Structure 1
């Protein structure tokens, strides 16, 4: 027997179905948009390797779709991609414009950690363009956002960035103050890797002050931590830094010891451009020892690599070193 429905039952059922569809459709559209955005981001990354402008175009398409669908986190991910793409082709003007867009979106959506990240990114763009005061201002603003969420690691890394800018402005005492704060944070976090980077920066700070003993001490601390971690790339960097510090301190034997170890570690690297500075430091240390022939060979090798990689500043420095070696050879050949 069929039970007759009440007059409103069918309408109520249809209303529930309509309400379900109205709730489901926006979610389905958002999910489809999210998939489309991810696909465009992948296309952007693939295209950028061969055609940077095409990669940027795909990333911007993804960004506009994320903005249209009001998906702030994906919008920020797209902005981040675009910023780094522009950075990669050294279009710092557009890189800065998009990092500022990222900051605005993060602030509008109350995402403090990402607001801090985009301030750091903006500061880094200013940093590489030698606008150190503006970089410091952006880094300091980033710290205020990080402090809201107690993001200690990011605070420590930002302090290091501020310290490096202070060195560039010859504010060495201020720089060291930031490095000490950073070192304290990483020590508490037991973050060996970032602590080693902080010690490395402190070594550079004291080297700039011609306080070579302190410089050597911090470079040694960085080296010990990096050897403990087992990171060969960073260990080689610390060996080079120590060797350079000993060269500056007029201790060629110690310099040659550390620089030779660095060169041995870097010998199998595919990117031979990282050898240039070590070869030049080693050449200058050998010159101090009076071994001019070997010094010339190392500097000449550095110049050949610098030419292959179009490293103009390194080539200019190497040519000056080579000229000094030739002058020393000429002087020693005189009766």
Structure 2
């Protein structure tokens, strides 16, 4: 896992005021896939992509979602936007159950929840002009009268920092950062309240990443947006997020205020992830000791009976291998799924 962002959030954009209520909430949410299934009874196996996730995102906040590749971050994000159907559990948006909404109800939900994808080249139709791509949701969802669409397109281009005359060009004529700005403009066209950004800067150069991150922060302030920000880059997550959730093998293992989690990780997996962040300092003594995880990486087809991290955890005991820890609230307010949480000063 690589990162080049600073280890602190000094100079980061101010956070919008939070009203305390959940805008979107997952309750014991799971997403399973059946593989190798045939007509024979009992055939096939189940991939536990997301398992028993309970998570609430408050209106106005940015929640960072981090973890290794295959941890279930993107799958959870797609479940929360209802791009994927939920296998078990509940999903609530602004207090209303959206777990199984279909038809016109799902269509209306698309106005409130939008997703920005990792690869802007793959998410933009190369045969259509930028103006047509951004205008399509305005027309399909009848958000604006046709005589107001041009003015709205110009407003959206200004929001994302692109010249208006770019509306007549095709996606291949732009750089990666410009294409991502176009994707952001298309998501904003729906006037959403929640945006799920799935690795929105990982495919961009480092210098362009900073520009897009600053754009996200600016849009949050100007439009009172709520973000779920999925990323590998822990430095970027620290810069943009007010809270962070750490996922491992489909489950959340730690959740809390960003500074608390980064400065004093409670879960051994979080500690190992954070040890990979390079600290830009000439003082070698200030650098973290890199934690190299050993042991076998479990398969989501057959997760361990006890703690999912027990096969790689340096402090695992027989209790960890036999009993799966619940995600419980610790004295400092964050939550961790560990029998022996660190940096708490208490007995487990």
TM-score by length of structure 2 reads 0.27
Which has the bigger relative contact order, CA under 8 A and spacing at least 6?
2
Flag the structure with higher strand content: 2
TM-score by length of structure 1 reads 0.28
Flag the structure with higher helix content: 1
